[in-house]
Structure 1
Amino acid sequence: MIDAHIHVVPPQIPGAGSLAPILRSPAERVAAVVRQEMQNAGMTRAFAMGEWRITADDPLGINRTLMVADKVPGLSAIGIMDPMKDKDDHEHFRRVREVMAAGRVVALKAYLGYLHYNPSHLTYRRYYEIAEQYDVPVFFHTGDTYSPYAKLKYAHPLGVDDVAVDHPQVRFVMAHLGNPWTVDAAEVIYKNVNVWADLSGLVVGEAEDLIYDEVHEDLADVIDRVHKAIRYCGRPNRFLYGTDWPLVPMAAYRDFIAAMVPAEMHELVFRENAERLFRVK
């Protein structure tokens, strides 16, 4: 199984904090915990976000993520796009291409909402061109945010439609299925064959928070929204499993999604769709 969305370093985005204390630990400690979590959940691959800390020697914010990945078999890095860079900053984009050419970045990500830029921003479009050149997908944070400083209008999934149309050769992924705008996200998937969604971060908390009972009736709303989205778009090959770890335990979230997603979609959601998206050989 493949977890398409985890964090192994603090994202360094406004208002989000470190997500969990473990991410402030040394790389060796984080790696040990991630290895155990992946083993407990039966994950053979996982894709970890970088951090929005862009420097000349780390133009995609992945250096600390790679320090952890070096110690975790099957873990790969997702680079962070910085919309605050000038679209004509040729030196920055030259360094980005150098990193991409090294083959250690499997995708790029934009923190929509946390950073107040639309997906169609001209600087983001420079990154999409690079994603197409190196045949890697582009992730967007969509939906609810973990920060009071975020602006939700930038994180609405309908913004992804613009760039999906303008960049048909790029594969785009809406993280969190745009929750709570899951049907809007489903429409974007239905309309555009180059758009996926991951099911990460629909719920956060401990294992006991992922059990649907009278104490956790709010889970029923999440489950209902996801069911409607899956039925609406009719594209079971466009949904990816992800956790948003460390916001949830990997094994407990696996069970939560397995109970939510129809059994006939399990192979697609937990493995096959990610293999196609990331060109896993």
Structure 2
Amino acid sequence: MTEHTEEKASLPLLHQPSWRLIDQSSFGNQFDALQSFATDDTLCTSVGKGDSPAVCRTWVHQQTIVLGIQDTRLPFLQDGIDYLKSQGYKVIVRNSGGLAVVLDQGVLNISLVFPEKEKSIDINRGYDAMWELTKHMFRDFPYAIEAKEIIGSYCPGSYDLSIEGKKFAGISQRRIRGGVAVQIYLCINESGSERASVIGEFYKVGLKEEQTKFAFPSINPTVMASLSELFEQELTVQDVMIRLLHSLKEFGGRLYASGLQGEELDLLTHHYQRVLERNEKMLNLSS
């Protein structure tokens, strides 16, 4: 099990001259998760070209299971998808690594999009920046937030964020043409173990005990929790949004709100079409 120590080198990444804030956390059912991934691809391109400063984008999606590419290799994938749909979830495949995760109204997603400029950003440095930001946001609680793989969680990785062995967040990265998007999902409220149970059942139905070359995770719902459960204090997405903005302000630089604009709107159409086509291909669905 890999456990990371604090990396102070992550701090310069958070000390940007300007942070462009794009808040899409209250868009509701009209905002599709595929649009969200296309938006991050658009911002990666824009930031990488120098057309935009660093971006902090926040987003929430309703009742969506986001599969990783490996998940599409389950021997009984369609049965697994049918199960998820029977539980009221929409199912998509994301364009970055990892395995299945749950998105719902109690999960806040944050994307930090950095320019690489002359010097490339080491992959761990991007992860460390998000870990550092998360610790700063919740520094008033008397709990240590660790970054290490939590065995039995869904989408396990060496940068699972946990408190006392219970995972509440996972981090991924996406890199396009000089832009780096570091993405985190934060389980803010409701039951972390119930979310994990849904993913656990998906794998059971999708595998039916068949042996596969890739070792899909064996889910233990007890190792996952929401921050509200861990802190024993009810938090909302709005509460955490305020904490995020305060933390970014304390790291310095100018903060300003903005939507996509100009050439970015054309780029979004292009990236969204690519994401749609890829999603349909991976799920073997017709348009």
Same fold (TM over 0.5): no
Q: Which has the higher strand share?
A: 2
Q: Please, what TM-score do these two structures have when normalized by structure 2?
A: 0.24
Larger Rg: 2
User: When the two structures are superposed, what TM-score results if normalisation uses the length of structure 1?
Assistant: 0.25
- Please identify which structure carries the higher helix content: 1
Name the structure, 1 or 2, with higher relative contact order (CA <8 Å, separation 6+): 2
